């Protein structure tokens, strides 16, 4: 029974919540707890941490009780490293380019890299999409909604 537990989502879900709850509860004690009448900043998170730990134990309990299903898998069928990487790189590039070069380069970089995350995407299709979004996005956000974000800047 025990090794099969390692193949259950609820095992990891429960463990995660227990760790998180216990971590929060322990960490809260570094702020002052106070008394029930005069609660300090640490009291409320301390209570929530304990509640979360308890719920985590209940989830873990359901993992032990439910029958083992061999089809259950924790990770998705295919690991989309490229897709995930590109989706996370998009906003990261938006931050860097936006900070140093301005809105247009930021939109372009964000959309171009994110679009490459799809398996069927080509450099050309991503480039065209990025150019389109850069033009449309600048018009919408800079000229219509007037978001204070310089279109181009050199800021090092």
Partner 1 sequence: MISTALTDLWYGFGVALEPHNLMWCFIGVFVGNMVGVLPGMGALATISILLPLTFGLKPVGAILMLAGIFYGSQYGGAICSILLNLPCHPPHAVTCLDGFPLTKQGRGGAALGITVISSFVGASWGITEMIFLSPLLVAAALEFGPAEICSLMLLGLLAGSTLAKGSPLKGVAMTVLGLLIGIIGSDIETGTPRFTFGIPSLFDGVEIVALALGLFGIAEFMKSVNQLSDVNTTYSKVTLRDLRPSRDELRRSIPAMFRGTLIGSLCSLIPGTGPTIASFISYAAEKKISKTPEKFGSGMIEGVACPEAATHSSCQGDFIPTMSLGIPGDAVMALILGALMIQGVVPGPQLIKEHADIFWGLVASFWIGNIILVLLNVPMIGLWVKLLTIPYKYLYPSALFFVCIGVYSANNDMFQVGEVIVIGVIGYALLLLDFHPAPILLGFVLGPRFEENFRRAMLISRGDILVFIKHPISAVFVGMSVLLILGQLYVRLRKPKVLEDVAIELKAT
Runs of H (alpha helix) within 66-148: 81-100, 103-115, 123-138
Size of the residue set binding partner 1 (CB under 8 A)? 73
CB of 1 to partner 1, least distance (A): 21
The answer to whether 127 contacts partner 1 (rule: CB under 8 A) is no
Determine what percent of the chain falls in helix, strand and coil, rounding each to the nearest 5: 65, 0, 35
Q: Is 151 exposed, middle or buried (0-12, 13-18, 19+ CB in 10 A)?
A: middle
The answer to whether 135 contacts partner 1 (rule: CB under 8 A) is no
- One residue of 1, 6, 65, 145 binding partner 1 per CB under 8 A: 145
Contact 54/17 with Cβ under 8 angstroms? Answer: no
Closer residue to partner 1 in complex, CB, 5/45:
45
What token pair was written down for 7? 């193949």
- One residue of 7, 13, 33, 151 binding partner 1 per CB under 8 A: 13
Binding to partner 1, residues 59-118 (CB under 8 A):
59, 62, 74-76, 78, 80, 83-84, 87-88, 90-92, 94-95, 98-99, 103, 106-107, 110-112, 114-115, 117-118
Contact 116/122 with Cβ under 8 angstroms? Answer: no
Other Cβ atoms within 10 Å of 74 Cβ, number: 11
Contact 8/68 with Cβ under 8 angstroms? Answer: yes
The answer to whether 38 contacts partner 1 (rule: CB under 8 A) is yes
The answer to whether 22 contacts partner 1 (rule: CB under 8 A) is no
CB of 53 to partner 1, least distance (A): 10
């Amino acid at each position: 029974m025990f090794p099969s537990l390692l193949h259950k989502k609820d095992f990891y879900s429960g463990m995660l919540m227990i760790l998180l709850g216990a971590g929060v509860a322990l960490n809260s004690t570094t702020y002052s707890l106070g008394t029930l009448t005069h609660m300090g900043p640490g009291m409320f998170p301390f209570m929530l941490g304990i509640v979360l730990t308890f719920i985590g134990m209940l989830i873990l309990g359901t993992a032990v009780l439910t029958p083992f299903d061999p089809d259950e898998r924790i990770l998705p069928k295919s690991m989309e490293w490229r897709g995930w990487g590109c989706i996370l790189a998009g906003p990261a590039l938006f931050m860097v380019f936006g900070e140093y070069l301005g809105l247009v380069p930021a939109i372009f970089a964000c959309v171009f890299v994110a679009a490459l995350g799809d398996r069927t995407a080509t450099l050309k299709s991503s480039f065209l999409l990025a150019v389109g979004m850069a033009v449309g996005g600048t018009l919408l956000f800079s000229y219509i909604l007037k978001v204070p974000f310089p279109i181009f800047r050199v800021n090092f």
